[in-house]
Amino acid sequence: MSKTGTFVIVGAGLAGARAAQTLREEGFDGGIVVIGDEPERPYERPPLSKGLLTGDAEPDSVFVHDAGWYAEHDVDLRTAVSVKAVDRSAGEVRLADGQHVRYDKLLLATGATPRDLSAPGVHLDGVLRLRTLADSRRIGAALVDGAHVVIIGAGWIGLEVAAAARLRGATVDVVETAALPLRRALGDEIARVFANLHRDHGVTFHFDTEVREIRGTGRVSSVLLADGTELPADAVVVAVGVRPNTELATAAGLTVENGIVVDASLRTADADIHAAGDVANAYHPVLRRRLRVEHWANALHGGAAAARAMLGQAVSYDDLPYFYTDQYDLGMEYVGHAPPGAFDRVVVRGDAAKREFIAFWTAGGRVLAGMNVNVWDVVPSIRRLVAAADPVDLARLADPDVPLDELAPPSTPGTQLG
């Protein structure tokens, strides 16, 4: 295991911070440089659309480490500075301020950037996106009692912002091109659960339509839809997905395809460069396919796995995708991967109408993914079901009287982490 040299981490988010922490925990005593383009030290992103917007989380609770941790662990944290290029032949990164930083190993944890609309008016004041802590603060300031908030996109971020806005007294319209929220991710049956949840809390949906124009003079005042509906708007939140920040990798000649292509050890074709977090398109040894995962747990565990691989340890990053959401009185955890078209049946265990159930996405009897809604302490069993290679009895899977542990095999690869 390498104990010396300089390891550079580009991206001062959760993945980058966890990588730095793991390097020190594993005994690396060389130089560690963490470079981020935001002014804040590394923080976690889930609270940006959850607790920070609802007021349930303290502002300082988002940070990965205390302010003094980096100096105490001899980590050179450089914030508010961007990397302009990676020079693989020289083994260095070039910063926007003209400095060059040499590396022996390099981790790209550059994250993702929100996608935007092509409609006129997207640059008006009051049109907001959510990715950074500063974005969350701006959105939080707009979610006031009596405000009219239009959210474009009914994915996870859009729905979490909608829930926070309603809890704070705003009037909320959600615009979505599909017929239901989360339809591609969950399928119609479970998507209706979330549609009904938000309707019960006063959200108005506008499905099967898109934004024609965002209107206003200097500042947004309304949103015109393709069907002619005009929605009043004091603020607009654009939540139509993200794109991975692959520009550095592309310019450096690394393989990029829906993210930076890496193997199961999170290593690129260049043995000295790894990638982790939202930007990494990694081969998953349990699911036997490439995945680019944009959720918190992947940054948490992927950054640590990349650090160990950078140290020369044998790493096979087999953690199953995991994420969670909190909306009103609904709490949910999801484990696995069931992309559109991959599953042939959704098995519901419990009462979906009461929002107390577990849903399983299955194909040929195999469980591809599971989601527990207001049902707790079942994630380890769901992980084992997803990681198993054999089909299960779907009738027993749907029966709440059959313990999940009777259906889930003993611990298998990919089940040990969230």
Alpha-carbon distance values, 390 to 22, 108, 364, 384 (Å): 35, 36, 10, 11
What pLDDT score was predicted for residue 416? 47
Rounded average pLDDT over 164-192 = 96
The continuous run of DSSP H or E covering 137 comes out as helix 133-142
pLDDT tens digits for range 367-415: 999 999 999 999 999 999 999 978 999 999 999 999 999 998 776 555 4
- Cβ(126)–Cβ(220) under 8 Å? yes
Percent of the chain with pLDDT strictly greater than 70: 98
pTM of the model: 0.94
Cα distances from 329 to residues 71, 201, 352, in angstroms, run 41, 10, 14
Tell me phi and psi for residue 172, to 5 degrees.
-125, 125
Q: What is the pLDDT of residue 233?
A: 98
**The token pair that represents 119 in the structure block:** 């409609």
Please compute the mean of the pLDDT values over residues 182-189 and round it to a whole number: 92
| Partners of 136 in beta bridges | none
Rounded Cα–Cα distance for residues 5 and 77 (Å): 17
Predicted confidence at residue 389, as pLDDT, reads 77
SS3 222: strand
Helices (H), 151-234: 156-167, 183-186, 188-200
pLDDT at res. 411: 63
Model confidence at 4, in pLDDT bands (50, 70, 90)?
A: confident
pLDDT (tens digit, 9 = 90+) per residue, 200-209? Answer: 999 999 999 9
pLDDT value for 2: 54
Strand locations in 123-245 (E): 127-129, 148-152, 171-175, 204-206, 211-217, 219-225, 230-232, 235-238, 242-244
Band of residue 417 on the pLDDT scale cut at 50, 70, 90: very low
